[in-house]
Amino acid sequence: MKHSPTYRTSWAFLLSALALLAFADIEVSTLDPWGEVGRMVLGVLTPNFIGLDELALAVVMTVAFAFLGVVLGAGAGFALAFFFHFRVIRMGCAFVRAIHELFWALIFLQVLGLNPITGVLAIAVPYAGTFAKVFSEILEEADLTPLKALPFGTSHLSAFLFARLPIVWSHLRAYSGYRMECGLRSSAVLGFVGLPTMGFHLESFFAQGQYSQAAALLFLFYGLIATLRWWLRPRLLWLYALGSLFVIYSPITLSWANIVRFFTNDILPSPLRGQSEAGIEALGRWGLDLFMEEALPGAVNTLVLTQIALVATGMVTLLWFPLVSRHFLGRGGRAVGHLFLVVIRSTPEYILAYLFLQLWGPSMLPAIVALALHNGAIIGHLVGRYSNEIELRPDAPRGLDRYGYEILPRIYGQFLAFLFYRWEVIMRETAILGILGVRTLGFYVDSAIADIRMDRMVFLIGITALLNIGVDGFSRRLRRNLRLTTTAKVN
């Protein structure tokens, strides 16, 4: 019997991940990998809100950076959506969103220094690329018939305001709200590279083993995300914008000399700098060395880790989605399930990976577990919600039989679509987790920055972006070949 393409693809992914796992470095290198867990659990149970004003300020900062970054990104993305039929715009957007916001932060730190603009742009630039793509899709799918009956001579702007905007408005709003949640996570993580958001404090709490303080900060963050739909009101946007500007404001002295030097000197391959005699040969050797010794091993590790994390994410998803599915749990059980998934998915994978790294030491293991938990919680939520639309016959089997025979076959296509849609997101995260010590591309980017070699940094980030665009294209082809479509936008 010939199996379906979906079946064969699933096995191919599972087996390749298992094979790669045999070669991957997943060693636990700490002497007492579980010793710290007890103290972490204790910290979670006894959150310490002493010094609340400082914690609150970190949360407010996190919101302010997220808000300004997302608003700026949404505005730019909205404008770009009108030019999305130009190939150059499409490619530019694909490129900027292929680079993780932490990488953008690292770049802007070099150019602009440690100031608020760096934080805002680090979120706004990649988000603009994503917003442009999604907004243009929304505009494309909207009903065009109302344009037909407009009186002769109506201006383009008036036509757009009345016959286009009202139709897409609710979609634009819903997607922007969803991105605000992502923006809060991005903003929190920016603290790990020195901006005054939550990550900054979390890092020092973790480093000093102050788990009660860390727990308190995380609880504040979860509360913020859980109540997002009550406080993020369109009418209050201008208030938040002003407030955010006020909060993050600090006197900035931008050094033009620095900016100019970055673009005209720092990012030039080192053989091209200084003496003009360097020649093609030196440049070739520079490129080849960098490629063979850093880009290639980094890319291989990134791909290996991505593949394992993707399959692990899939397994976690299939395990967790019943927690929010009405076919398996009652109202009370689902409420607990929801809370659990919200907490896991609201914790940025970078923070999860950082935690596991403290426990197990540097290897691929902390990254795999962090990515699988975070992304599994996100896709599990979507798949669970999708499963709730299924109507079962009254005498349908229960328990494991119901899972295997009734639900799984019905959700499997949607599940794969969500998973492959998230593939490039997982890869972007995989690259970034290199900063924590796993030898993915981020590791080499981080070392280049530590050595103040911006030419290498830019080269390696470029490679990362291209790899990501490649995976995105592959995923899109795979989804098309397997005829998988998602009903929700997940990024």
Partner 1 sequence: MTLFKLAGTHVGYHGVSVLKDITLSIDPGEKVALVGPSGAGKSTLLSTLYQQRGEGTALVPQEYALVKNLSVFHNVYMGRLNRHSALTNLLTLIHPLKKQIASVQPMLMEVGLEEKSNTPVGELSGGQQQRTAVARALYQGGDVVLADEPVSSIDPVQSRTVLNLLHSHFNTVVLAMHDIPLALDFAERLIGLRDGRVLFDRPSGGIVAEDLDDFFLST
What span, in angstroms and rounded, lies between the C-alpha atoms of 50 and 179?
31
CA-nearest of 44, 40, 46 to 357 is: 40
What span, in angstroms and rounded, lies between the C-alpha atoms of 153 and 146?
15
In three-state secondary structure terms, 447 is helix
Applying CB under 8 A, among 4, 29, 46, 158 the residue interacting with partner 1 is: 158
Spatial CB neighbours of 265, under 8 Å, sequence gap ≥ 6: 273
What span, in angstroms and rounded, lies between the C-alpha atoms of 63 and 132?
23
153 near partner 1, judged by CB under 8 A: yes
4 near partner 1, judged by CB under 8 A: no
146 near partner 1, judged by CB under 8 A: yes
Q: Pattern of binders to partner 1 over 169-208, x per CB under 8 A?
A: xx--------------------------------------
Helix locations, 388-436, DSSP H: 399-401, 408-421, 423-433
Q: Is 2 or 156 the residue whose CB approaches partner 1 more closely?
A: 156
82 near partner 1, judged by CB under 8 A: no
Half-sphere exposure of 16 (CA within 13 A, CB side): 15
The stretch among 91-99, 166-174, 224-232, 380-388 that binds partner 1 (CB under 8 A) is: 166-174
* Sign, CA torsion 106/111/115/116: negative
Applying CB under 8 A, among 145, 250, 275, 276 the residue interacting with partner 1 is: 145
Applying CB under 8 A, among 23, 152, 238, 256 the residue interacting with partner 1 is: 152
404 near partner 1, judged by CB under 8 A: no
Q: Please check whether residue 183 is in contact with residue 66, taking contact to mean a CB–CB distance below 8 angstroms.
A: yes
148 near partner 1, judged by CB under 8 A: yes
167 near partner 1, judged by CB under 8 A: yes
Token code pair at residue 373: 């938990």
Kindly tell me the number of DSSP H helices and DSSP E strands found in the chain: 23, 0
What span, in angstroms and rounded, lies between the C-alpha atoms of 432 and 265?
26
The stretch among 92-100, 139-147, 286-294, 331-339 that binds partner 1 (CB under 8 A) is: 139-147
What span, in angstroms and rounded, lies between the C-alpha atoms of 448 and 445?
5
The stretch among 5-13, 63-71, 161-169, 329-337 that binds partner 1 (CB under 8 A) is: 161-169
Applying CB under 8 A, among 155, 253, 275, 276 the residue interacting with partner 1 is: 155
What span, in angstroms and rounded, lies between the C-alpha atoms of 337 and 299?
37
Return the residues of window 408-467 that contact partner 1 according to CB under 8 A.
Answer: none
The stretch among 126-134, 141-149, 386-394, 466-474 that binds partner 1 (CB under 8 A) is: 141-149
What span, in angstroms and rounded, lies between the C-alpha atoms of 396 and 175?
36
Q: In whole angstroms, how close is the CB of 26 to partner 1 at the nearest point?
A: 52
Q: In whole angstroms, how close is the CB of 318 to partner 1 at the nearest point?
A: 38
Q: In whole angstroms, how close is the CB of 487 to partner 1 at the nearest point?
A: 21
The stretch among 73-81, 142-150, 201-209, 279-287 that binds partner 1 (CB under 8 A) is: 142-150
In three-state secondary structure terms, 360 is helix
Amino acid at 129: G
Q: Pattern of binders to partner 1 over 39-78, x per CB under 8 A?
A: ----------------------------------------
Q: Is 78 or 95 the residue whose CB approaches partner 1 more closely?
A: 78
Applying CB under 8 A, among 51, 166, 223, 274 the residue interacting with partner 1 is: 166
Q: What is the distance of C-alpha 357 from the center of its chain?
A: 19
Q: Is 163 or 458 the residue whose CB approaches partner 1 more closely?
A: 163
236 near partner 1, judged by CB under 8 A: no
- Residue owning tokens 């399930």: 337
Return the residues of window 352-391 that contact partner 1 according to CB under 8 A.
Answer: none
Q: Angle at which helices 454-481 and 441-450 pack, to 10 degrees?
A: 160
Sites of contact with partner 1 (CB under 8 A): 145-155, 157-159, 161-163, 166-167, 169-170
